[in-house]
């Protein structure tokens, strides 16, 4: 049993997929945004196995996970409260602050343009990805596709960039959201909601930033991954069959993720496993 629990494939793929699928089936009849919590549940199962919910000493990946936990509540508030334009600005500021909190210990290791790039470009990447993805909260297929592609691209690229833990965490998000994508094949989807998008996109984006500043992930990979929330808005013919529409939506989201993985592979070589 211990061998199964300690298996990376079980921790970051099978477990979050199964947990998310079961919880989604249970919550789906309730409508609203509750089904979005299924992906949170799947990811949380992986976090428990990898951390035992022990967040001290407070290392970089634990900061990311702590912010992700708080972002669940933030996303829930955004779903419950009437929509206001000011909330978008507030979300932008909060995610910038989270990125600076994660990156702060590395500031002393940089100077000149590298320091400014870390202090400005890194937080802007996180804030852009989160805000752009959160605007898809009522578009279930597009929202699920964005989170799936972003976390998958981040996870595989992070492993290639020599940070297996970040890769495992991001892969767990893609597996958990993959369960929601499977349900699109069997009936009317349920909106993802900010309660799913804000925490999972925030964690994925922060893991990508962390892989750049704490490991060997090339900085330009984040620019490629930042294309995902933009490309998902490419219009498609309205008369497409449902299955074809789903497949094309996922593939469009995956294009930058695949490109990011290929560029990282070319830069770093085969994964260190």
- SS3 for the chain is CHHHHCCHHHHHHHHHHHHHHHHHHHHHHHCCCHHHHHHHHHHHHHHHHHHCCCCCCCCHHHHHHHHHHHHHHHHHHHHHCCCCHHHHHHHHHHHHHHHHHHHHHHHHHCCCHHHHHHHHHHHHHHHHHHHHHHCCCCCHHHHHHHHHHHHHHHHHHHHHCCCHHHHHHHHHHHHHHHHHHHHHHHCCCCCCCHHHHHHHHHHHHHHHHHHHHHCCCCCHHHHHHCCHHHHCCCCCCCCCCHHHHHHHHHHHHHHHHHHHHHHHHHHHCCCCC
Q: pTM of the predicted model, to two decimals?
A: 0.94
**How many residues does the structure list for the chain?**
273
In a domain, 186, yes or no: yes
Show the domain range for 76.
2-268
Closest C-alpha to 145, from 169, 172, 177: 177
In a domain, 273, yes or no: no
Q: Which two tokens stand for residue 106?
A: 């590395």
In a domain, 24, yes or no: yes
Q: Could you read off the pLDDT tens digit of each residue along the chain, which spans 273 residues?
A: 667 777 888 989 999 999 999 998 888 777 656 778 999 999 999 999 998 888 888 888 999 999 999 999 999 999 888 777 788 899 999 999 999 999 988 877 777 777 777 888 999 999 999 999 999 988 889 999 999 999 999 999 999 987 899 999 999 999 999 999 998 888 766 778 899 999 999 999 999 999 999 888 999 999 999 999 999 998 888 788 888 989 999 999 999 999 999 999 998 876 655
Q: Which two tokens stand for residue 179?
A: 């369960």
How many domains is the chain partitioned into structurally? 1
Residue 13 CB-half CA count within 13 A: 9
* Residue 64 contacts residue 210 (beta carbons within 8 Å): yes
């Amino acid at each position: 049993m211990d061998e199964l629990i300690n298996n990376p494939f079980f921790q970051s793929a099978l477990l979050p997929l199964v947990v998310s699928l079961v919880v989604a089936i249970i919550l789906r009849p309730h409508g609203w945004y509750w089904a979005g919590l299924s992906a949170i549940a799947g990811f949380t199962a992986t976090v428990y196995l990898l951390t035992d919910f022990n967040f001290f000493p407070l290392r970089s990946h634990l900061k990311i996970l702590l912010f992700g936990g708080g972002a669940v509540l933030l996303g829930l508030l955004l779903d419950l409260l009437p929509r206001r334009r000011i909330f978008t600005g507030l979300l932008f500021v909060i995610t910038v602050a989270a990125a600076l909190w994660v990156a702060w210990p590395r500031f002393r290791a940089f100077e000149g343009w590298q320091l400014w790039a870390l202090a400005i470009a890194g937080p802007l990447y996180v804030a852009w990805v989160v805000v752009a993805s959160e605007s898809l909260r009522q578009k279930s297929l597009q929202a699920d596709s964005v989170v799936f592609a972003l976390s998958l691209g981040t996870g595989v690229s992070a492993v290639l960039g020599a940070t297996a833990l970040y890769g495992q965490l991001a892969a767990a998000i893609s597996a958990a959201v993959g369960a929601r994508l499977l349900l699109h094949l069997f009936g009317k989807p349920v909106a993802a909601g900010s309660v799913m998008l804000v925490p999972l996109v925030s964690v994925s984006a922060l893991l990508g930033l962390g892989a750049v500043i704490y490991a060997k992930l090339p900085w330009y990979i984040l620019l490629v991954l930042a294309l995902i929330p933009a490309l998902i808005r490419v219009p498609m013919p309205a008369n497409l069959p449902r299955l074809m529409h789903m497949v094309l939506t996922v593939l469009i989201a995956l294009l930058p993720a695949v490109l990011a993985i290929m560029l990282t592979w070319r830069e770093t070589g085969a994964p260190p496993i």
